[in-house]
Structure 1
Amino acid sequence: MKVLYYDCFCGISGDMNLAALLDLGVPKEYLIEEISKLKLNYEYEIKIKNDIKHGITGTRVDVILKNQVHNHEHVVEKALDNHQHVHINNDHHEHDHSQHENNNHSNNHEHDENHSHEHDHSHHENHSHSHEHIEEHNHLHKENNNHEHHHRNLNDIENIINSSDLTENVKKLSLHMFMKVAEAEAKVHGKTLYEVHFHEVGAIDSIVDMVGAAICIDYLKVDKIMASPVQVGGGFVKCAHGLMPVPAPATVEILKNIPINTGIVPFETTTPTGAAILAANVQEFTQKIDFSIKKIAYGIGHRDLEIPNVLRVYLGEEQKAEKIEEQYILETNIDDMNPEFYGYVEEKLFGKGALDVYKTVIFMKKGRPGVKLSVLVNEQCEKDILDVIFDETTSIGARKYKVEKIMLSREFSKVKTKYGDITIKKSYYKGKLAKYKPEYEECRSIAKEKNITLEDVYKEVYREASDI
């Protein structure tokens, strides 16, 4: 089974995820070609290059907005994710100097990778950089006509994705991630899904991050996606709504029910886009790595921190044998007991811990019809089961033999139906979903309560669970 594992020791953002998956082996030409199917190329440019943080080499991705105003007084507004720091490399931009002069900017700077400019540190949060980075948590983006940047809502994004030539799976993955953000933003701001304007997540660079994630995940064709607990950072982040605690409200809403770590650095290390990528795609969050690692890759972040600002991902293989348990069969042949007693005896056996009880019609010596009572047990309940057999039946002896029980791995989940949430049991073989079925007792209760047939309930569950 092919496994993708996210090691989020320094959190995750949309651009770090994209960089890590490219570093893992997704061809950059493939990503650029596929993402061009959104037909938004006129709005952005993707820069992909090798980079290094704290001696760790990896891939860095910059999604650059075309026609973006560059302000030499240290305010360039570019959001990679909701509430994320923004870093622009000087060597990635051409500047309209007449525009800079009109805005009273000085244009006689010499830009050099190893030169550090003097900045107003209120915009830098006391960080120094080896080349000019401009960081600002302001969410009002401007184009070079100085108008406010257009913020798309969920309907806009759905139209862009659904009208594209992307594969159906990529569309489905992309929309699932955007829905995670929309649900969080709607709850935080007290709005409906389609009232929410995504601000930065609706900006083109974050659309590229989200849809790019779907393209890369689809390309890798992994059987399972896992992740470590997510480091979110600490302190406060400045955004359009003012100072927000880290993790920002939208981020923590998305990460609900997901294990997190906090405070490794006094900055935001996980953004809403990064959180949505994990929440929508990861099946298991664990620190346990019980698969063989075949490839390691790094997505380089844009911040200079005390720890490496990188996202590490593993591509591995999991050889997961089906679960085998040693159990026992206790059985006895009965030909002289009132048949009415069998139902009562079965209830008592299950009550004492029997794993399974079944009856087989047999013919005994001299042609007498009888019943073979078989009980599957483990060592812990064996004595109690024998007590029931000898106390409650006419048996005067029982056979015992060891068996191996081979079980598919199982998990339970809820399916939303028009009759309410109903539990289904899913069984996996060789790491893949082999079958699933509704829980009988829940369906039975609903059928009685609603005065409908049991078959109607089952049909509704299978209809709603068809895309599992």
Structure 2
Amino acid sequence: MQTLYLDAFSGISGDMFLGALLDLGLDFEQLKTELAKLHVHGYELTQQREAQSSIYGTSFDVQVAGGKDHGFVERHHHQHEAGHHHDHEARHLADIEALIDGSDLSDTVKHHAKAIFMEIAQAEATVHHMPLAEVHFHEVGALDSIVDIVGCCIGLELMQIDTIMASPLSDGSGFINVAHGQMPVPVPAVMQMRVGSAIPIQQRLDVHTELITPTGMGLVKTLVREFGPLPENAVPTKVGYGFGKRDTGGFNALRAVLFEKKN
């Protein structure tokens, strides 16, 4: 088994996490084969090895018909807008859990993926002052997030990673524009997920956008067991970079370091 260290100097998102795993050697075709066990359609995965600031890494993306959306909550009156493909309809948390439970994925992947979605949904329910059962995930965001979150859990299992450590996280400042208006950074769901946790986050006042997405925060809160500097005495076996999509004015990547587990 292996230990993964996440160096989140520019925040974390689901696509950055998967990009970093792919850069570390996760088999892209194997990832797609496993994700097919979810039995959902309407998306395409892309990976591109490229350079940012002359440093090579991997950019991963989930391309969904209809484009990207920010945020998760979809209120009831948006549910029946015309023209939505069946797989893109807004989904309740219970729908997503049923989808994961009904898949052919391993019990470990199911357990972790459902725990991450529960963290995000609980935060969204609190922020939007609505019962957990009524939280809807955006029609596009739902599919995008399902693939990101389940894909991350699959990647960890395929790579036999059983321990995850992380640096203190960095987030930006200011505001981002979403479908239903402006959100302050850290975005409300990320801020809510900090409640009751000791996850160290520094806010970068030089970056005027979101660096930690709700998906990224859900992954960290659910899976990371220890925060601090790089382990001093462990010997790294490989380093990878997963690139983010936002223009931060600097090097926007998640650095991931693999360590062999000592007996």
TM-score by length of 2: 0.88
Residue in structure 2 matching 1:249, options 177, 188, 201: 188
Q: How does 1:63-462 map to 2 (within 5 A)?
A: 63-66=62-65, 68=66, 77-79=67-69, 82=71, 145=83, 150-199=89-138, 203-256=142-195, 257=197, 258-263=199-204, 264-290=206-232, 291-317=234-260, 319=262
- In 2 relative to 1, CA 78–317 (structure 1 residues): closer, same or farther, beyond 3 Å? same
Q: In structure 1, what is the Cα distance between the partners aligned to 2:52 and 2:134?
A: 40
Task: Select the structure of larger CA radius of gyration.
Answer: 1
User: How far off its partner does 1:242 sit?
Assistant: 2.1
- After TM superposition, give the deviation of residue 209 of structure 1 in Å: 0.3
- Structure 1 pair 273–194 and aligned structure 2 pair: CA distance change class (3 A): same
**Alignment correspondent of 2:54:** 55
Q: Are residues 198 and 145 of structure 1, via their aligned partners in 2, closer, same or farther at CA, if it must alter by over 3 Å?
A: closer
**Mapped partners of 1:203, 1:176: distance in 2:** 15
Q: CA deviation at 1:222?
A: 2.4
Counterpart of 2:75 in structure 1 is none
Residues 202 and 303 of structure 1, relative CA distance in 2, 3 Å threshold? closer
Distance in 1 (alpha carbons) for counterparts of 2:245 and 2:141: 21
Q: Deviations over 1:49-85 (max 9, x none)?
A: 212211111111121113x3xxxxxxxx413x637xx
Kept in 2, the 8 Å contact 1:12–1:271? The answer is yes
SS at match of 1:203: helix
After TM superposition, the score normalised by the length of structure 1 is: 0.51
The letter for the 1-side match of 2:181 is G
Provide structure 2 residue ranges, at least 5 long, that are not aligned to the other structure: 73-77
> 2:112, 2:153 within 8 Å by CA — same for their partners in 1?
yes
1: CA distance between counterparts of 2:260 and 2:106?
26
CA distance in 1, matches of 2:200, 2:164: 15
User: Residue 47 of structure 2 contacts residue 58 of structure 2 at CA under 8 Å; is this kept in 1?
Assistant: yes
**Which digits, 9 at most, give the CA deviation of each residue in 1:282-323, with x for residues without a partner?**
00011242222111001112233321111110001365xxxx
Which residue of structure 2 aligns with residue 2 of structure 1? 2
Instruction: Note closer, same or farther for the CA distance 1:223–1:165 as it changes in structure 2 (3 Å cut).
Output: closer
- Conserved in 1, the CA contact under 8 Å of 2:64 and 2:140? no
Deviations, residues 177-204 of structure 1 (Å, cap 9, x unaligned): 1011011111111222211112268521
Query: Contact 2:68–2:140 (CA<8 Å) still a contact in 1?
Result: no
Q: Using the alignment, how far apart are the partners of 2:123 and 2:140 within structure 1?
A: 12
* Cα distance between partner residues in 2 of 1:34 and 1:170: 10
Q: Work out whether 1:34 is the aligned partner of 2:24.
A: no
Q: Matched residue of 1:181: which SS?
A: helix
AA in 1 matched with 2:3:
V
**Which amino acid in structure 2 is aligned with residue 306 of structure 1?**
G
Conserved? CA contact 1:157–1:202, under 8 Å: no
| Change in 2 beyond 3 A, CA 1:200/1:150 | closer
Paired residues of 1:237 and 1:245 also in contact (CA < 8 A): yes
**Aligned partner of 1:269: which letter?**
L
Partner of 2:43: 44
Aligned equivalents of 1:46 and 1:150: distance in 2?
Answer: 20
| Letter paired with 1:178 | F
Q: Which amino acid letter does the alignment assign opposite residue 215 of structure 1?
A: I
SS at match of 2:210: coil
Tell me how far apart the structure 1 counterparts of residues 99 and 83 of structure 2 sit (CA, whole Å).
24
Query: Structure 1 or 2: larger helix share?
Result: 2
Partner of 1:361: none
Pick closer, same or farther for the CA change 1:64–1:294 going to 2, 3 Å: same
The separation in 2 between residues aligned to 1:284 and 1:201, in whole angstroms, is 33
Percent of aligned pairs with the same amino acid: 44
| CA RMSD after TM alignment | 2.5
